[in-house]
Structure 1
């Protein structure tokens, strides 16, 4: 074999540490096994269990080797084969296991008074510049290892007592070590090692040196790719999904090239492991989930592939796409394209992206239902969660797959990301139309209003508008490109409006965001689009603020009661149904009602303050309802709400603690209310508040007479009976 060829060698810890300079390169993620005690302690327990020391001499006599998997390394470019007997090897795979075993060997050497043997085997010199296993490109971690070895040499059996109480650590233990994730993970690992291998009467050092084996793959090129990774480790547990995938897909002809890439991908997911709302200890959750997402898309597009291995270049295309979208390079291009304009939605998009990657526990196995099979169609409908998440991923993944090898159109990519970000937020979850829509974006540079696609997608069971593009999407596209000189400004302003919390979420309100406003030509002037949209943004924010709460803007809710459309008020009845309970707090629903739009137009047309408009509405209402006959049937709930909101001793039917209003059967004296046997009113949160019944002010009749309302009181017969 040529000295430049890779080879596979069965090595125990003795040969690994004495005949190799094993270096953990900077590109490797941190040592994290110490933070995962379940995995680490199970690994250690298996090693201890298989040792079985003799009960008489306390030495381990087993001849059975324990192979703990593959160790994958490569020679850095500076290595000159002719000049050294022991050559530097950069670890690419196996850092977690080899680091754990190095610490275990050091710990047992100190306990068994074999520290000199340890120093000889690992070639640890006095100045700490050379160790057979080291983190020398990470100076702080390397410094800790060197000082830990010196401390073990001097302290013997008690050298590791400090790990249980770092507040009383030795003088050499720097405060900076507490900020080094690898060092602190090593401390945690040593605690587990002490817990499981802390027996001072048994002798494990020689057993660990000679019986713990790796398949060490030193590689620059090899034809034995399928042997590189095993699917079961020494604990009898399956390797994580990305490790298994790695063993299946790495091509034997380019093992070194793609092995390095895979490790860089794993590092990428490790660095982003806490993005979103995640608190992942390692990269596995995110990496595994994204690989499952890739498989889901590939199998959705070509069901015949299911069960087969996804090719490495396909995985690379998608991961490179993810890395590009999340890069500072792309964000800088986005900010350059929309220089000085709103781009805040992108941070929210990236947050959602990583939150799904790092926390999603479901499956991506969506089957294309367009073949007509009823069972598949039902299965597709039941995968609503996965389909919704596919909006956030499969769209741009499809784009990167289509333009593989071609230059990325950053402007088009931005528009595609935002388009599907809004679909994701609005639960428009058509996985079947993704390829059609991506093609349409590419062919028309995002001008979807110029595309004649009106075909129905019969598999979309939960979208009101099931056309390929919704009316809102077509309308907004036409507005953005109607003024070519200001397209970016119009887009950015629309995107800023859509990002407002009361517009962003379209679930349960028809799936649209701002369509109800933007289709109204009184609000958006087609001859002055940019100024109209900018004005609308400023007005709606001045009216509702950035994020209204359920109990905010009571003045607006008072006014909205006066708008009746199709015999309905702006509120929405909800459970419990044994009394009339009206929700008046969901602004994402309220702003889309015709009542609110009518109010919005009138409010800004008249340029009044809310109290002025409220007073005007009350005057108009009582001018129309100028007779109140207490003997007749009660008014509708809407009219009663208007009436009691004015006349209540409770200062209206809402307050800062009560967002809803409820009506129920009168259980009090009829004379205490305005009408006989009328429904009485409570303030409500989610359910009626029995301590907050709306009561009449003592001078309620005087208040109504100020509005010129004639009051016909209870007749004598009724009064007499009472």
Structure 2
């Protein structure tokens, strides 16, 4: 059978085709109501136009047969319903058998449609003549023996005029069929089709579907090549039908065959691109489908009125339907967005040629592809629903960038900076979804490195004001250094932290030198190595203790019926988010730029002991009142590891009398964050008393520390 365009009847009547087989390597027939109704809807729409058509064509011949042939040809050119591409291969060992590679979902559905129409129109014998080969179905399932047996029995049962709703009561319907995906889909979809059709038009529709529903057929000729192509095609996976349905709808609107062929090839090029970019995702079409959903959502977003919203429940039930995509997309719109999408990747790669530091580019590309390959986003979510924060964040990221690249050919450097800007904003969980277009329009009219507070965060403004004092070449060198600071995970992930990524470490008003920024990079990554990002990691124990000398730096967390302080949330701690007035981390890090952690500890402890010399030296049975941070410092001197259980401190359980301090009215615990499990916490006083036996001994030990400075703290 030659490659080309065929109607359904032409396919099944072709003298070379004995049977079309769905081989064992094929996946199941998985279409559901949405896909079936989408295909039926597009066919019925074309059929209705076909019925209403009334052409007055002047034919310069008196031959009636030729006139009718020309008239029919003209109608077919105007009202054909194209369902896309079908791929198969023939094997010389099985002459007349064609093994389907791609198209089984559409071909099976149209076969069931023809079956239902033949029954409703009383034309079952005609169906048998065209769509059977002897007593065998011309379309046969070889995926599993059970699928073959059921399909054969079911079609024969239906053609006998039996009530197919009683199928499951028949002796040939086995219990195992209930768990077979293909069998369930065939049965349910046939019922959907049967109920969809009006008996009054069944006969005429039967003719239309046979003669006017067309597809492009491609024969790979050699069995081995056919199976290789199948692996390539089928690895796109279950969601392939979504963009295939849209393709069928859009191509059906093109009347010129050459244009339709070109559009079909372009669509295949798009699919191939998303195949290449699928990553580890076996289902490559997930990316293409999500891309189409995303750009349709943005086309809807751009409307000033009558915007469509899809609720969470409806999205969870059926996602974004093909009919919705058809409403917002055409081939020209898709082509423009596709060009923008590919340009984004190309510009990101350019950064590697223009900047000394560009490690973020690979992370950006991974995030960009992950957004469509590994996520399912409701791109029609309600913009006013605060519970849709994740969707809004993805909209800001994807739509902002794609809009910037779609309507212009941006300057390379400006484009790189815009990608970087939104890369950081994505990690800051930017959800400013309502001003996507106004922000991008501003950057188009001015520049990305703007210091406008209406479009930029305070952190961005401080950076951009600093860049404004530099030449272009200097700016690029400074950008590379600042990006490296920002890209540490503790700095980059600024969600809920006022979008601060660098200004907590860099004082831009002081006009820092490149050498100073390099020092910040060196020391910060020394303090927080990238391979030690676990915030509870014991290597941070000494740092937790050192920070106590600078004041309370912790974050109070639930439960709220006692004081529960998290001393491990480094994202908050390094920004002094919970201590903006005293800025303990900022003061510590300033010292750390020129001193080691041990040196800072020794100096802080020396000052602490001098400051509290009289209080400790004069103590009898109990030490005077001290702030919690100071009390914890004292306890750290009495035990090998204050943070034995974890990075949290809890003040809980009232005391009848003070323990070590006059204002110690509640027990103080070191915990793993809560009191769940007996091994998750320790009473700090009990631990000290267990080590040193009595309060008298403990105070004596503290007094003994006063004359001389201790050595390194054991953490």
What is the TM-score of this pair, normalised by structure 2?
Answer: 0.62
Distance of 1:362 and 1:134 partners within structure 2: 30
Q: CA deviation at 1:561?
A: 0.5
Distance of 1:671 and 1:243 partners within structure 2: 75
Q: CA deviation at 1:590?
A: 0.9
Question: Larger helix proportion, structure 1 or 2?
Answer: 2
- Within the candidate set 570, 590, 599, 1:601 is matched to 590
- Look up the match of 1:583: 566
- Look up the match of 2:331: 312
1:469 aligns with 2:461: no
- Look up the match of 2:523: 539
Q: CA deviation at 1:204?
A: 9.3
Distance of 2:604 and 2:143 partners within structure 1: 73
- Look up the match of 2:631: 640
1:487 aligns with 2:504: no
Q: Is the 8 A contact 2:417 2:448 kept in 1?
A: yes
Deviations 1:506-533 (A, max 9, x none): 1122221112222365xxx41x532222
Distance of 1:191 and 1:134 partners within structure 2: 12
Give the 5 Å matches for 1:5-154: 9-11=7-9, 13-16=11-14, 18=16, 34-36=26-28, 38-39=30-31, 99=88, 118-119=94-95, 121=96
Q: CA deviation at 1:330?
A: 4.2
Deviations 1:599-632 (A, max 9, x none): 0112224x2x212221221221222223145557
Deviations 1:462-506 (A, max 9, x none): xxxxx3211211222233342432222211221222111101111
Deviations 1:128-176 (A, max 9, x none): xxx89899xxxxxxxxxxxxxxxxxxxxxxxxxxxxxxxxxxxxxxxxx
- The alpha-carbon distance between structure 1 residues 499 and 653, as it changes in their structure 2 partners (threshold 3 A), is same
Distance of 2:370 and 2:152 partners within structure 1: 49
Distance of 2:212 and 2:440 partners within structure 1: 46
- Look up the match of 1:347: 362
Q: Is the 8 A contact 2:457 2:499 kept in 1?
A: no
- Look up the match of 2:683: 693
- The alpha-carbon distance between structure 1 residues 616 and 132, as it changes in their structure 2 partners (threshold 3 A), is closer
- Within the candidate set 488, 491, 502, 1:514 is matched to 502
- Structure 1 regions of 5+ residues with no counterpart? 1-5, 23-30, 44-65, 71-91, 107-114, 123-130, 136-188, 221-236, 369-378, 455-466, 710-722
- Look up the match of 2:110: none
Q: CA deviation at 1:305?
A: 7.3
1:550 aligns with 2:535: yes
- The alpha-carbon distance between structure 1 residues 672 and 443, as it changes in their structure 2 partners (threshold 3 A), is closer
Deviations 1:435-482 (A, max 9, x none): 233233333342313xxx44xxxxxxxxxxxx3211211222233342
- Structure 2 regions of 5+ residues with no counterpart? 36-42, 48-81, 103-140, 160-206, 218-237, 309-326, 577-582, 708-715
Q: Is the 8 A contact 1:11 1:215 kept in 2?
A: no
Distance of 1:17 and 1:595 partners within structure 2: 85
- The alpha-carbon distance between structure 1 residues 294 and 674, as it changes in their structure 2 partners (threshold 3 A), is same
- Within the candidate set 384, 402, 423, 1:397 is matched to 402
Distance of 1:600 and 1:426 partners within structure 2: 23
- Look up the match of 1:249: 250
Structure 1 residue matching 2:328: 3-state secondary structure: coil
CA RMSD of aligned residues (A): 4.4
- The alpha-carbon distance between structure 1 residues 133 and 402, as it changes in their structure 2 partners (threshold 3 A), is closer
What is the TM-score of this pair, normalised by structure 1?
Answer: 0.62
- Look up the match of 2:376: 361
- The alpha-carbon distance between structure 1 residues 549 and 271, as it changes in their structure 2 partners (threshold 3 A), is same
Distance of 1:678 and 1:303 partners within structure 2: 61
Give the 5 Å matches for 1:625-704: 625-626=612-613, 627-628=615-616, 629=619, 630=621, 634-648=625-639, 651-655=640-644, 658-665=646-653, 673-675=660-662, 678-688=665-675, 690-691=678-679, 692-694=682-684, 695-696=687-688, 697-698=691-692, 699-704=697-702
- The alpha-carbon distance between structure 1 residues 39 and 646, as it changes in their structure 2 partners (threshold 3 A), is same
Distance of 1:436 and 1:412 partners within structure 2: 17
Distance of 2:211 and 2:362 partners within structure 1: 44
